[in-house]
Amino acid sequence: MDYTLYLVTDRGLSKGRSTLDIVQAAVRGGVTCVQLREKNCSAREFIAEAISVQSFLKEHRIPLIINDRLDIAQAIQADGVHLGQNDIPLKMARAIVKDSMLIGISAESLQDAVEAERYGADYIGVSPIYATATKSDTAPALGLKGLREIRKAVKIPLVGIGGLNRSNAAEVIRNGADGIAAVSAIVSADDPEKAAAELSEIIRQAVIL
């Protein structure tokens, strides 16, 4: 699993473009993982969109993670599901899916991260690193200090999310993240392919240095 550049979709930020169009462009630019996030549509709409995106991603061997909805992740046999602190508890989710899919957990504190690793998460979304306008229900920003504390405490992969873009992606990698989750930096870009390519190169350089 390559978490290097992790795209989180958001139709509300896509400037009228379809999620599939954004995903296709982002993959061309170097995105290595896609999380499909849909907060305001029916289950059937979510499934239809997920199947469309999944068909494309399979051709390119890019994993598809479903946000929040374990039932939809199971229905389409997605590669994984990403759960927040208010979703189905990790222990229950793991008991249901066993080892059939990845489970990512959003950690808003050091304790969240330690518990996620203890109960079988495959990776942690450290959220939010910085304040972000793409979600209204986030905890206070953890900052680089919070990221470093979590990195010292857990061994599983960490993906930084929250207010990340070209100006700060490198420092997040250098402070312990294995990957960067991008939302508006790619979804709202005039050229999502170019935006993804630029972020991918910034991350690559940060890893080298």
Domains and CATH numbers, the chain: 5-208 (3.20.20.70)
* Average pLDDT score over residue span 172-190: 97
Q: pTM (2 decimals)?
A: 0.94
* Helix then strand then coil, % of the chain, to nearest 5: 45, 15, 40
For residue 83, give the nearest of 96, 51, 11, 182 by alpha carbon: 96
Q: Which of 14, 69, 106, 127 is catalytic?
A: 106
Strand, helix or coil at 160?
A: strand
pLDDT bracket for residue 207 (50, 70, 90): confident
| d(C-alpha 112, C-alpha 6), whole Å | 21
Question: Which of the residues 17, 28, 94, 135 is marked catalytic?
Answer: 135
* In contact, 105 and 121? CB cutoff 8 Å: yes
pLDDT score for 14: 94
Question: Is pLDDT above 70 for 135?
Answer: no
Percent over 70 (pLDDT), the chain: 97
How far is the C-alpha of 19 from the C-alpha of 3, rounded, in Å? 20
**Whole-angstrom Cα distance, residue 5 to residue 111?**
25
Q: Report the 10 Å Cβ neighbour count for 129.
A: 24
> What are the residue ranges of helices labelled H in the chain?
19-29, 43-59, 70-76, 90-97, 110-118, 143-153, 169-174, 184-187, 192-208
Q: Which pLDDT value is given to residue 133?
A: 66
Question: Among this protein's residues, is 135 annotated catalytic?
Answer: yes
pLDDT tens-place string over residues 68-122 = 999 999 999 999 999 999 999 999 999 999 999 999 999 999 999 999 999 999 9
Q: Any catalytic annotation for residue 37?
A: yes
